Structure formats: structure tokens, C-alpha cells
């Protein structure tokens, strides 16, 4: 995923519109969210030492760690500055939501950062539940915040209860999005995934399909563990086709897809109790489908 | 310097008190400023690849770039969150001052980051004036912000004119502080500088004494240029005593000390027009002296 389709600012606008807001009211929120998202990407790429994103060299890879780090810091502070700019009480509430989401995101990232050092199996292996919590924080918090900020900045301003409902919608959507992203990181076409087929496996990332497959206790899981333990760096490139087959056999793919489906449905259910038009509901539903569809 | 003596939060409290504020009113500002300062230090150490600070290993050196980068991001966002927390209009104004100061700081850092790639001499060498501008942005902006935020959070809240005067006091103080820091980076005792004598020279940093000495056009400047051009990395360790002598001979040290003095005096003059008690003025004056005194 990460195809730069600006789903987060789109969510800000959609939830603002759903509550009767004008686009202009939501713009500072949409801009701030996209700035924060890009700040997180730029710093994540440094942390993960990722060389490619969207089929291009990452910022640190091209210009060095210092300039990339500083660029991320700049995007971060510009986001706060942009959101705060109107100087209204509503803007202040929105900044509060954003800072809390960013703190949650950092918690998720910090948790996530420990994953590479954990073993593939045994009592200290990463569990699917742990993974979901980290994903909820790392990816869900900012997407939840996108929907919530839209609701805060809209027309008369959403009630706290409505804002919370938009946040819950966004949070489920975020987890579904992350599950889908994990499937794409293994089976996605290079042109849509922005990286080679199976790259998450070759880089020995502890993503949901892999963790779930290993936890399945099946013979396929046993063989997969052998391949993953080939070296400290992960499986051998030659073993990639077999490893991908084993992942499917041990239900790694189907479980991740089912998780995505589950959270997508939960997201849509959050919309039911909101006082929004059928058209707005349809748009938010379509957004959920768009973010988790599998034809990419 | 950088001795962790918390001069920035002290400034927040002093300016708040000068305008009749209670310490409790200034606390979110003091905490936020210190968090931001530490955020900047942690990220700066990554950018500059510095291994030591305050005679201890830097965070990235000890725990790796990823954890240090994330820690800096956390300090950054906690600063905003802390300052915003009271939810008052005054808190909003204070956050606005902080974000603007951080943007200025980033501009200064970005400028500064280009210095190592510039030659020691010739038309594209870093000029003393350019250096002062970068120092004003990099160090002055946050110290100016410390004094201004104290004034904003104080008692009845300073008028915009008063806040601007406190900011000017802090800005001059910041430049004076940076000039003093540069002298310490060359001639400071290791126990107070937190790094070996002459380390800025050995690391070929383009600090004020070095830039000014080279720009002096004296024979000492010519010989200094030879020593600095020993290799791409800077002078040979054996040449350090001679290089330090040449720096003094070419007025590098005295010019930096005069700059510090000049900005210290300008800082104190900013206090004259403020409606504050003689005791408060004395405290702010003492603070200026403390930040630029040379017995370290």
C-alpha cells in the first residue's frame, strides 16, 4: 500500500462533510494529518533502514540520515503549526487529538521496534494478539485521528460521542488497512506493493501472516520455521516460493485476510449509530472498502 | 556548555515571575521548553554523529539510531502536549510561540548542516555574519522562546510588546551563549566542556573563533589554514597546540568573546524598558552573566 493516495486527508474531509462541514473547515486538519503521516514515513524508513518506498529511494538513502531526520522533524512541527493556525477552540481540540494520536503511534512503533529481536517460536515469540495491539497503535491511531479531527472541525462540530464514534471507525479501518498491507507485503504485485514479491519474508519481518502461520502448530508451520531459521537474516532467496506456499498452507494469508475483513465490518458498524445521511454513510463505507480491497 | 543546568526552564520561570506570575502558571512552559531542548540534543547528536555529551555516551551511540530517533520524536510531541494541556487561550499562544521557535531552530540547523561541506577559505567560505545568523536561529530561537513563553504565561499575561521584549532579551542571550559555547568547545576544560580540549578543531567544526580567525587575513590565518587543510578530516592531533595558539593570535578567541559580550549587553538593555522590579531585573541580569561567564 503506501501508494501516496492520501487516504488520511480524504478521511478528514469525508467525516467533516458527513457532519455537515465545509471542506475549507477541514483543510487544516487534512493538511496536518498528511504532514504527520509523511513525517512518520520518513523517520520509519530511517529506523527500519528501508531503502525503497513507492518504488523510489527513501529520503535517508538518497540524502543521508541527517537531512532526512531534520526533514521529518520539520514535517512534524509544520503539522502542529498548521492545525493550530486558525487559533479557534476547535483547532485546539484538534491539536490535542493529534498529539495523543502521535503519542499512541510512538508507543506502537517502540513496541514494534522490539519485534525483530524476538524469536520466531517459543514463549517469547510475538503473538498475533500483540501484533494487533501494535498495529492498532502504530497504524490505527493516526487513521482514527483523521476521522475524529474531521468530525471536530465540521460545521457545528461533532459531539464528543460522535467524535469518539468516528475515531472507532477509523481505528478499525486502520487495523484492517495494516492487515491488508501485510498481505501485500508478501503477495502484492511489485508495482502496487512498491517492493518485490515476498519482501517482508526475505527481510524476516514479523508481520501478521507470518506470525499467525507459525502459531498454527501445523506441519507447514514447522517447515516454515526451518526456512526462516536459515540464517540470522531470514530465509534464503531460493526458498521464497516454498515459504510463500507454506504461509498459505498454514493459513497465514487467510487469517490475515479474515482479520482485515473483521475490522472492516466493525468499522462500518461504527457508522450505523451516527446521525449522517445515507450518502455520507455510503462514502465512508466505500472508503473502508477501498482501503482494504485486495486487487492490488 | 550543555551541562544540563536547565537554563531554559529557569528563564521561563524568571520572566514569568518578573511579570508577577506564579511558578505554577509557568510550569507547563518550563517543562515543554526543556523537553524540546532535549529533543533537539538527541536528534542533533544523531545528525552530527557525536559520540559524547556531558561526558557520557550519546543516546544513539549507546542504543542505536532507531531508538534515539524515536525518543527524540517522543520528547518533541510530549512538549507540545504538555504546553497545550491547560487548554487555555494563553496555552494556545504559548504553543504558537514554541512551534515558530522550533521552525526557526530547524532552519538554523539546516543551514548549519551545510557548513561542513563548505571550504575553509575563498568566496564560498562560511562568513562570521552567516554564522551569527545560523546561531541566532539554532540557539537563539529557543532561548528567546523560553523568555517569551514565561511572559505569556505570567499573571495577567504580558502585552505583545512586553513579550517581544522578553524574546529579544532571550535571543541576544542565545547568541551570546552560543559564542561562549564555541570558545568552550576549543579552550574549555574537559570536565566542564564535556569533551576534550580543542575537540571542535580536531573535528573541523566551523565555529565562530575558527571562522573569524581565518577571515582575519593575518599570517597566523594563513598558517592555520595549512594546518586545517592537513586532511579532509581536519588538522592532525599533533598540530593541535599550534593551531590553538594560531587561533588566539588571529583574534579568533578574543573576537568570539567580544561577540558574546556584545550580545550579553544587548540582552541586558532589552530589560531596561520593561515594567519589572529591580529585583527581577537583577535576576535576569544575573542569568545573562551566568550563561556567558568564562570560568568554565
- pLDDT of the residue at B291: 85
Taking the C-alpha atoms of residue A21 and residue A7, their distance in angstroms, rounded to an integer, is 18
Are B84 and A99 within 8 A, CB to CB? yes
Per-position b or e across A132-156, b if 16+ CB within 10 A of its CB: bbbbbbbbbbbbbbbbbbbbbbbee
Q: Do B67 and A113 touch (CB under 8 A)?
A: yes
Per DSSP, the three-state class of A49 is coil
pLDDT tens track for A174-217? 999 999 989 998 998 877 777 778 888 888 889 999 999 999 99
What does the DSSP assignment read for B186-203? HHS-HHHHSS-TTHHHHT
* pLDDT for B233 beyond 50: yes
A65 and B73: CB-CB below 8 Å?
no
pLDDT for A126 = 93
Would you state the pLDDT for residue A166?
A: 97
Which pLDDT score, from 0 to 100, does residue A142 have? Answer: 96
Question: What are the angstrom distances between the C-alpha of B260 and each of B179, B229, B264, B281?
Answer: 5, 28, 6, 20
Instruction: Label residue B69 exposed, middle or buried (CB < 10 Å: 0-12, 13-18, 19+).
Output: buried
Query: A35 phi and psi, to 5 degrees?
Result: -65, -45
SS3 annotation, A134-146: HHHHHHHHHHHHH
Q: How far apart are CA A111 and CA A83, in angstroms?
A: 28
Nearest C-alpha in A relative to B85: A96
Distance in angstroms (rounded) separating the CA atoms of residues B96 and B74:
19
CB contact under 8 A, B65 and A47: yes
**Residue B4: its pLDDT value, please?**
63
Find the chain A residues whose C-beta atoms sit closer than 8 A to any C-beta of B: 43, 46-48, 65-67, 69-70, 72-74, 76-78, 80-81, 84, 87, 92, 95-96, 99-100, 102-103, 106, 109-110, 113
Kindly state the average pLDDT of the residues A242-268.
94
A99 vs B80: CB contact, 8 Å cut-off? yes
Q: Which residue has the higher pLDDT, A33 or B92?
A: A33
Q: Do B99 and A81 touch (CB under 8 A)?
A: yes
DSSP string, B123-175: TTSPPHHHHHHHHIIIIIHHHHHHHHHHHHHSTT---HHHHHHHHHHHHHHHH
For an interface test with B, which of A68, A69, A104 has the most B Cβ atoms less than 10 Å from its Cβ? Answer: A69
Alpha helices, DSSP H only, in chain A? Answer: 7-18, 23-48, 59-63, 65-84, 89-114, 128-135, 141-153, 160-187, 190-193, 199-202, 208-214, 219-228, 240-249, 252-272, 278-292
pLDDT score recorded for residue A195? 73
| Residues of chain A contacting residue B87, judged by C-beta atoms under 8 Å apart | 92, 96
Mind listing the pLDDT tens digit for each residue in A121-152? 999 999 989 998 898 898 899 999 999 999 99
Cα separation, A88 vs B185, whole angstroms: 45
- Asked whether the beta carbons of B84 and A100 are under 8 A apart, the reply is no
The answer to whether the CB atoms of B80 and A81 lie below 8 A apart is no
In angstroms, the CA B67 to CA B59 distance is: 8
Which residues in chain B have their CB less than 8 angstroms from residue A87's CB? 92, 96
A69–B80 CB contact, under 8 Å: no
Show the cell assigned to A182.
501485510
CA B254/CA B234 separation, integer angstroms: 23
Chain A residues inside the 8 Å CB shell of B70: 43, 47, 106, 109-110, 113
> What pLDDT is recorded for position A4?
63
pTM of the model: 0.88
Arithmetic mean of pLDDT over chain B: 91
Q: What is the mean pLDDT of residues A256-265?
A: 94
Distance CA B210, CA A56 (A): 40
Q: What is the pLDDT of residue B1?
A: 41
Phi, psi dihedrals of residue A282, rounded to the nearest 5°: -60, -40
Task: In whole angstroms, give the CA distance from residue B6 to residue B290.
Answer: 12
* Cα–Cα distance, B135 to B108 (Å, whole number): 7
pLDDT above 90: percentage of residues in chain B: 69
Contact A106 B81 (CB under 8 A): no
Closest in A65, A70, A103 to B65, CB measured: A65
Question: Per-residue pLDDT tens for A54-111?
Answer: 788 999 999 999 999 999 999 999 999 999 988 788 888 999 999 999 999 999 988 8
**Angle at CA of residue B89, ends B88 and B94, nearest 5°:** 95
Task: List the single residue in A46, A66, A84 with the smallest CB-CB distance to B95.
Answer: A84
Dihedrals phi, psi of B231, to nearest 5 degrees? -150, 175
Mutation site, B77, B88, B111, interface A, largest A CB count within 10 A: B77
Q: Which residue has the higher pLDDT, B155 or B264?
A: B264
- Residues A276, A278, A279, A282: is their CA dihedral positive or negative? positive
Nearest to A102 among B77, B84, B99 (CB): B77
pLDDT (tens digit, 9 = 90+) per residue, B60-111?
999 999 999 999 999 999 999 999 988 788 888 999 999 999 999 999 988 8
- Residues B125, B129, B135, B141, Cα dihedral to 10°: -140
Residue of B nearest to A47 (CA): B66
Distance from CA of B70 to the nearest CA of A (A): 7
Q: Which residues of B touch A84 (CB under 8 A)?
A: 92, 95-96, 99
What is the spatial distance between Cα B292 and Cα B257, in angstroms, rounded to a whole number?
9
Residues 6+ away with beta carbon under 8 Å from A184:
A1, A192, A193, A296
Q: Which residue, B174, B178, B259, B180, is CA-closest to B212?
A: B259
- Find out whether A234 and A202 touch, Cβ atoms under 8 Å: yes
CB neighbours (10 Å) of residue B91? 21
Indicate yes or no: CB of A70 within 8 angstroms of CB of B110. Answer: yes
- pLDDT band at residue A222 using 50, 70 and 90 as cut-offs: very high
- Choice between A256 and B194, residue whose per-residue pLDDT is larger: A256
Determine which of A40, A50, A73, A78 to mutate to test the interface with B (most B C-beta atoms within 10 Å).
A73
pLDDT digits (tens, 9 = 90+) for B109-158: 888 888 988 999 999 999 999 998 898 898 899 999 999 999 999 977 78
pLDDT > 90: percent of chain A: 69
- How many CB pairs lie under 8 A apart between chains A and B? 88
Backbone angles phi and psi of B121, in degrees to 5? -140, 170
B12: pLDDT strictly greater than 90: yes
| Interface touch B43/A103, C-beta < 8 Å | no
Task: Report the interhelical angle of B23-48 vs B65-84 (nearest 10°).
Answer: 160
Q: What is the tens place of the pLDDT at every residue in B179-210?
A: 998 999 899 887 777 777 888 888 888 999 99
Helices and strands counted in chain B (H then E): 15, 2
| Residue A289, burial from CB neighbour count under 10 angstroms (0-12, 13-18, 19+) | exposed
Whole-number Cα distances in Å, A3 to A120, A138, A192, B99: 30, 18, 7, 30
Could you tell me which residues of chain B have a Cβ less than 8 Å from any Cβ in chain A? 43, 46-48, 65-67, 69-70, 72-74, 76-78, 80-81, 84, 87, 92, 95-96, 99-100, 102-103, 106, 109-110, 113
Is the per-residue pLDDT at B175 higher than 90? yes
pLDDT at A296 over 60: no
- Bridge partner list, A196: none
Mean pLDDT value across residues B231-244: 88
Q: Which grid cell sits at B293?
A: 561567564
Indicate if the pLDDT at residue B280 is higher than 80. yes
Residue B151: what pLDDT?
Answer: 96
- What value does the mean pLDDT of chain A take? 91
**What is the predicted pLDDT for the residue at B135?**
86
Amino acid at each position: 500500500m503506501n501508494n501516496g493516495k492520501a487516504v488520511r486527508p480524504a478521511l478528514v474531509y469525508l467525516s467533516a462533510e458527513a457532519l455537515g462541514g465545509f471542506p475549507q473547515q477541514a483543510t487544516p486538519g487534512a493538511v496536518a494529518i498528511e504532514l504527520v503521516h509523511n513525517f512518520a514515513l520518513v523517520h520509519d524508513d530511517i529506523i527500519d533502514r528501508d531503502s525503497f518506498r513507492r518504488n523510489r529511494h527513501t529520503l535517508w538513502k538518497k540524502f543521508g540520515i541527517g537531512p532526512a531526520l531534520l526533514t521529518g522533524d520539520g514535517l512534524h512541527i509544520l503539522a502542529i503549526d498548521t492545525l493550530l493556525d486558525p487559533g479557534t477552540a476547535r483547532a485546539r481540540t484538534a491539536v490535542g487529538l493529534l498529539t495523543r494520536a502521535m503519542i499512541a503511534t510512538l508507543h506502537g512503533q517502540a513496541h514494534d521496534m522490539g519485534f525483530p529481536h524476538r524469536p520466531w517460536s517459543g514463549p517469547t515469540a510475538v503473538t498475533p494478539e500483540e501484533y494487533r495491539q501494535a498495529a492498532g497503535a502504530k497504524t490505527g491511531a493516526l487513521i482514527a485521528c483523521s476521522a475524529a479531527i474531521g468530525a471536530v472541525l465540521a460545521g457545528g462540530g461533532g459531539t464528543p460521542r460522535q467524535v469518539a464514534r468516528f475515531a472507532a471507525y477509523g481505528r478499525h479501518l486502520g487495523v484492517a488497512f495494516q492487515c491488508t498491507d501485510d498481505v501485500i507485503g508478501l503477495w502484492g504485485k511489485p508495482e502496487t506493493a512498491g517492493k518485490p514479491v515476498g519482501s517482508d519474508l526475505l527481510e524476516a519481518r514479523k508481520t501478521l501472516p507470518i506470525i499467525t502461520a507459525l502459531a498454527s502448530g501445523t506441519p507447514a508451520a514447522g517447515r516454515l520455521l526451518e526456512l526462516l531459521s536459515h540464517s540470522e537474516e531470514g530465509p534464503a532467496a531460493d526458498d521464497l516460493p516454498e515459504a510463500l506456499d507454506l504461509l498459505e498452507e498454514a493459513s497465514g494469508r487467510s487469517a490475515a485476510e479474515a482479520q482485515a475483513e473483521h475490522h472492516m465490518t466493525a468499522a462500518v458498524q461504527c457508522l450505523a449509530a451516527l446521525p449522517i445521511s445515507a450518502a455520507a454513510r455510503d462514502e465512508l463505507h466505500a472508503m473502508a472498502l477501498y482501503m482494504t480491497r485486495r486487487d492490488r
